[in-house]
Structure 1
Amino acid sequence: MSSESNEPIEVRKNAALDRFELLVDGQVAGLAAYQDTANERAFVHTEIYPQFEGQGYGRKLVQAALDATRDEGYGIMPLCPMVRHFVESRPAYLALVPLWSRERLGLPQN
């Protein structure tokens, strides 16, 4: 995966720290922290470090983290604002949020 600026980027899961990390040219540029339950992965905090903001890295981090979560068979709980915004604006990802939690979180039901 590469960014518009042609810097090599990578998103990796760091299970030891319960987070996904975005690396830009080998340097950690942001993270998406999570907590797993039996069936869902709750995203509790996502951030892009200041020197990397405004370059679309947040979207790339969240999308990769949610894709990996889906591939692992988890539903998602978008508790942090960045993940919630991403999910609200993309119906394919909203489908990963269990119906019972959509109501609690005030998310669309369909």
Structure 2
Amino acid sequence: MEIVDNPARGRFELRQGDDVIGIASYAVVPGDGPDAPDRVVFFHTEVRPDHEGQGLAGRLASSALEATMASGRSIVALCPYIKTYLRRHPEPYAGSVLTPTSVDVEAAERAAAAER
């Protein structure tokens, strides 16, 4: 299994061979100023039902959050799973997590609508 960022689709994908078995969907919101990093707004995470209960969502969340931090961007959690993951595993993410703004919510809503 591998986890890859698919920016064209706005999601991290958990792949098993050619099959996508899990996703962590996001929208990117530009930073508020020249020194403010872009924000990655996570709004939906899921693993296919036939792969649940194996800890794969946690692996997906961890990889997505680590990749976001490594890219120098901030984390905004609207997704209930990502929120819970961050609450249970505050480190090393705490310094990169921002409170959602109305702009973040709007960006996530647009991205979610585009997924349908």
Q: TM-score, normalised by structure 1?
A: 0.79
Counting matched residue pairs gives: 93
Q: Contact 1:41/1:77 (CA < 8 Å) preserved in 2? A: yes
Q: Distance in 1 between matches of 2:96 and 2:88?
A: 13
Structure 1 contact 19–33 (Cα < 8 Å) conserved: yes
Which stretches of structure 1, 4 residues or more, deviate above 6 A after TM superposition?
Answer: none
Q: Deviation string for 1:2-34 (max 9, x for gaps)?
A: xxxxxxx10001111000000124421110000
Any unmatched runs of 5+ in structure 1?
1-8, 103-110
- Residue of structure 1 equivalent to 2:48: 49
- List alignment gaps of at least 5 residues for structure 2: 31-37, 101-116
Aligned-pair identity in percent equals 36
Which of the pair has the greater relative contact order for Cα pairs under 8 Å at 6+ separation? 2
2:76 matched residue in structure 1: 77
Residue 96 of structure 1 and its aligned partner are, at CA, apart by 1.5
